[in-house]
Amino acid sequence: MHLIRIPKASENMETATIGRWIKRQGQAVATGEPLVELVTDKADFEYESEVSGTLLRIVAAEKSMLPVGYVIALVGSPGEPQPDVSEENAKLMAQMRDVVAPAGGKPAAPPSAAGRRVAAKPAARLLAKQHNIDLGAVAEALAIQGVITEDDVRRYIEMAR
């Protein structure tokens, strides 16, 4: 089993956004073959697989902004046991949030979407309200340009754990 992680492509790189998945879950992957598009502050690039196998699971959704080291996919042999990476990923997300919102609780730089009204499905609004979540922050964290769904809010909650 090989864990595919957000690579540190440059000295100052701290995060990357999943552009689009080139390979789909269940497809064969060869070493050196493009797997996913990653978008950083400085460049967009295709991440090439370091191993051959089957793309067993995609962990990170397209348009998710994630820290370096975050496990985005699992490559291995069909039927091979898959490790639970959610706790490790949650710790990385928490560390990323601590950089964005230091101990004082105020963000280092105010997110552009936070605090403004965004388009969202009623179920998404209800879930966000129940968890005291700003939908603008959801849109910003997940790089959502369209309508926020209940699944988007759930993904945001999982990232916050």
Domains in the chain, number: 2
Q: Is position 88 within any domain? A: no
Residue 161 is predicted with a pLDDT of 66
* pLDDT tens-digit series, residues 42-57: 888 999 999 999 999 9
Q: What is the mean pLDDT of residues 152-161?
A: 82
Q: Do 119 and 50 lie in a common domain?
A: no
Q: Is position 101 within any domain? A: no
> Domain of 20?
2-83
54 or 117: which carries more pLDDT confidence?
54
Say which CATH number the domain at 13 has.
Answer: 2.40.50.100
Residue 1 is predicted with a pLDDT of 94
Q: Is position 96 within any domain? A: no
Q: Do 29 and 73 lie in a common domain?
A: yes
Q: Is position 68 within any domain? A: yes
* Cα dist from 72 to 29, 48, 88, 106, 144, whole Å: 15, 13, 11, 29, 18
Q: Do 121 and 59 lie in a common domain?
A: no
Q: Is position 93 within any domain? A: no
Q: Do 8 and 48 lie in a common domain?
A: yes
Q: What is the mean pLDDT of residues 124-145?
A: 83
Element of type H or E holding 92: helix 86-100
